[in-house]
Amino acid sequence: MLATGLIVFREVLEAALIISIVMAASRGVQGRGAWIGTGLLAGLFLSCVVAFFAGHLATAAAGVGQDLFNAIVLLSAVFLLGWHNVWMQQHGRELAREMRQLGLAVVSGSRPLYALATVVGLAVLREGSELVLFLYGVLSSGEGTGDLLLGGLMGLAVGISTGFALYLGLLRIPHHRLFAVTSGLILFLAAGLSAQAAASLVQADLIPSLGRAVWDTSSLLPEDSLFGRLLHILVGYVAQPDGIQILFYLITLSVIFIMMQVCRLNPSELKGKA
């Protein structure tokens, strides 16, 4: 029961943390609940579809289909998170003005909620399909359905509570700083996901590792400890990173960061400089 709970917790945690960051980043935006809820449901549905076809996926591309799939899912999420941050920089001023006018209550306008909703869907899909496979395996081997249910619910509850705690923590941040904080969180989240994608591609032997375990902090902070895991998800902490993971991380971080700086300049400033 405890083993089941732990596995469920591990698989749920990443999606729960990503959803809480996305919820905080879209605070006060009209219709965000519907968008993010749709992303979540779509992710759950697709998890079942992917789990159903897992056999085909695993043997596809000469046995590395799953790694390839994971890398695509991760890199899509990275792209959308980057896109969201850049868009927000571009429109941040208008939004700030609007928020002041409306007394912070509701922010209308076409913020890229579809991007955030898709990120939620991808986050759920990635871990969800593995979870569905695992639960299906346990169920079909008949190892006590009651234990499974209890363990699974426990894992789910603890995972969701952790995400909720992060969300509540983020809500304590003053409104005028929340945007900067969530942008920063999304920036590091994207870089970390990019490094995970690199690991998938190395495992599939599609890209070189450029050096194994460039540093080793696994005795200092093991990646499978709770704190290590949280850091792994939030800022991409890896105890024994490959060279290529560091490269993916730094490139993602700097590309999104530079794009954010470039897009922060508004048209009048650009004209003034020309």
Partner 1 sequence: MKRPFDLLPLLALAGFITASSAAAEPVSLELLIRDHHFIPEELTVPAGVKVKLTITNEDATPEEFESRSLKREKIIPGKRQVVLSIGPLDPGIHEFFGEFHEATAKGRLIVQ
Q: By CB under 8 A, what part of segment 129-158 binds partner 1? A: 130, 133-134, 136-138, 140-141
Options 19, 36, 54, 186; binder of partner 1; rule CB under 8 A:
54
Residue selected from 90, 203, 217, 266 as contacting partner 1 according to rule CB under 8 A: 203
Residue 74 touching partner 1 (CB under 8 A):
no
Decide if 9 contacts 99 (C-beta within 8 A): no
Alpha-carbon torsion angle 31, 36, 42, 47, nearest 10:
-170
Site string for partner 1, 81-120 (x = CB under 8 A): ----------------------------------------
Spell out the residues 6+ positions from residue 6 whose beta carbon is closer than 8 angstroms to its own: 155
- How many residues bind partner 1 (CB under 8 A)? The answer is 32
To 5 degrees, how large is the angle CA 147–CA 3–CA 245?
A: 140
Q: Which is nearer to partner 1, 94 or 224 (CB)?
A: 224
Among 93, 175, 176, 212, binds partner 1 (CB under 8 A): 212
What is the rounded distance in angstroms from the CA atom of residue 52 to the CA atom of residue 212?
A: 34
The CA distance from 28 to 56, in Å, is 42
Using the rule CB under 8 A, give the single segment among 93-101, 119-127, 186-194, 237-245 that binds partner 1.
Answer: 237-245
Number of neighbouring beta carbons within 10 Å of residue 248:
26
Q: Alpha carbon 155 to chain centroid distance?
A: 19
Out of 153, 184, 224, 270, which residue is the one contacting partner 1 (CB under 8 A)? 224
Instruction: Give yes or no for residue 63 binding partner 1 (CB under 8 A).
Output: yes
Contacts of 224 (CB under 8 A, 6+ apart): none
- Tokens 């234990």 sit on residue: 147
What does the binding site for partner 1 look like in residue numbers (CB under 8 A)? 3, 7, 54-55, 58-59, 62-64, 66-67, 130, 133-134, 136-138, 140-141, 199, 202-205, 212, 218, 222-224, 238, 240, 242
